[in-house]
Amino acid sequence: MESMSTDLVAYHARANPKALAAVEIATARCWSYRQLHDDINKACAVLAAHGVQKGDRVAVLAANSVFVVILQQALMRQGAIIVPLNWRLSASEIGSLIEDCSPKLLFWDATLSLAWPDFEPHFPALCQRLPFQDFITRLDQSTLPTSPVQQQNACTTTRLPNATAAIVYTSGTSGRPKGVKITAHNLLATAINYAVLGEVEPTSVLLCDVPLFHLMGLAVCVWSTLLRGGTVAMSRRFDASATNERLSAAPAGLGGRMVTHYFCVPQMADALRSAPNFRPARWAALRALFTGGAPNPPARIRWWLDRGVRMVNGYGATEAGHFFGMPLAEDVLRQKAGSVGLAGPMTDVEIVDPETGAPVLPGEPGEIVASGTSVTAGYWGRADRDGGLEVLEHGAGVRWYRTGDIGRQDEDGFVYIVGRRKDIFITGGESVAPGEVETALMQHPLVAEAAVVGVPDPTWGEVGYAWLVLEQGVEERVSKEDLISHCEGLIGRYKIPKHFRNTESLPRTGSGKIMKHVLKKKLESEGFGREKEH
């Protein structure tokens, strides 16, 4: 594994130089693999002129662009580290991330209207700040060195196999985001997993409008496509109407080729179907609508299948990459609706007892643990043995990353997510996994989303408190009695929440995960919000 090449663009530039590598949808600008390879080499020279060296961090605050991909690939060739930052965060939040990674250079997208005065106190003294548009201009004005030796010297640095190539910050579902150290081998392993699970081919066109500051965008969408020599159609950001159009007709620059793969979080899929131009029958080339980042209940999967669209669940973590995915066969998708699928080839996965670390039997809930090339060595700035990760060691000393998610595996090997380990609560001596309760609630025809947390109770110790988002257009309030009656046929009575509450929306991270700590804090401040209960 240590000798494995990770420069996918360089390979395809030699093997199939004229193949279409990427398209910037906003401008219809296209890159063949040869052109992309050359622009990466030019970017190396631009970065070198700014003093970027092996091991330096280069942060970027920018909307999606092929030029962000070029920047990442150039930094990898130089042995430097890209830090894609979430531009949707507040100034203070971004500032804390800048302090954490201490970049030598920061590129920022002037079109994002960032409040620079609020960032000033957080910048390292030697950090250069440049508009990202300046990087693009200098790149376009650059010429390649005429000598192949000069090109090689400008762009190639001996990189240790497990050296950090990117720092990707977690969504911070339970607190402050952590910088996950991602190596090129981590990226490649995730790319292989998704390419196999998602059946990515050299003829594939993957529309990317999930942010590149998430591993879902950088590794799943971009690297898996580059791995197979396919085409990345890059969108600046998600817009439901625009994405519907791009799935229905060939985007500009693709020469009539239509999108074959689209990856999103479930909330983006919901927005697609709510858009006025939603016409899934026109998505003629789409192999599947891939989702990750948050659970997809069985009813939602079947809704899409009934309209001719294969909705394919997947699962992963910033710390371990994308490593579960459903097969694309429609009969399997329908039969196993709600499952996140089977493990990809680059990640070993087990479901274990959270207390003992021993594997559990099929059908029994346990914590999902992962090991293999896709798993990070740890968090940036953590020098302890496991890099700040929660790990288990068993099976001849193998190091397993603890995801914190509880799942169960059926007799066919398909895995279902039950909930978060830390979210499980105990009522009357019985453990309740909120994910199971949420799945039951979302099978109610009027419930679009649900989030369940445990709250103190004088009789039972803890009971469930359910936050509900109703389907669009539903004006009447669903009664507590109706919800309890609905759940009684699906889950044990002790699992049914005692408290129910309607809300217009649930707090989510950029990757779609519900921030339950926010809900708990709100309940604590309101005394469980009993004035608004059903």
Which CATH number does the domain housing residue 491 bear? 3.30.300.30
3-state DSSP of 45-101: HHHHHCCCCCCCEEEEECCCCHHHHHHHHHHHHHCCEEEECCCCCCHHHHHHHHHHH
Examine the fold and report which residue of 234, 265, 294 is the final residue of a domain before the chain moves on. Answer: 294
Contacts of 413 (CB under 8 A, 6+ apart): 342
Residue 523, both tokens: 């309940």
Domain membership flag for residue 288: yes
User: 151: closest CA among 246, 55, 298, 10?
Assistant: 10
* Cα dihedral 510→512→514→517 (10° resolution): -20
Number of domains in the chain: 2
For the stretch 120-155, pLDDT in tens is 676 777 788 899 999 999 999 988 766 655 655 566
User: 186: closest CA among 290, 81, 260?
Assistant: 81
Q: Determine the structural domain holding residue 257 and report its residue range.
A: 8-294
pLDDT confidence of residue 185: 95
Same domain, 286 and 429: no
CA dist., res. 323 & res. 191, Å (int): 10
Examine the fold and report which residue of 294, 327, 344 is the final residue of a domain before the chain moves on. Answer: 294
- What angle in degrees, to the nearest 10, is found between the helix axes of 148-155 and 66-78? 90
pLDDT confidence of residue 533: 46
Domain membership flag for residue 174: yes
User: 166: closest CA among 219, 221, 123?
Assistant: 219
Domain membership flag for residue 470: yes
Domain membership flag for residue 498: yes
Domain membership flag for residue 119: yes
Same domain, 38 and 177: yes
Nearest 5°: the CA angle 168, 137, 209 is: 40
Same domain, 77 and 219: yes
Report mean pLDDT in 10-residue bins for the chain, 534 residues: 74 97 97 98 96 96 97 96 91 86 93 71 78 95 71 63 90 74 96 98 97 95 98 97 97 95 92 96 97 87 97 95 96 96 96 92 95 94 82 77 94 92 83 87 92 89 92 82 91 91 88 85 75 44
pLDDT confidence of residue 491: 86
Domain membership flag for residue 242: yes
CA dist., res. 423 & res. 374, Å (int): 26
Same domain, 290 and 431: no
Examine the fold and report which residue of 231, 265, 294 is the final residue of a domain before the chain moves on. Answer: 294
Measuring CA to CA, how many Å separate 278 from each of 287, 469, 501, 529? 17, 22, 31, 38
CATH number for the domain that contains residue 54: 3.40.50.12780
Same domain, 428 and 282: no
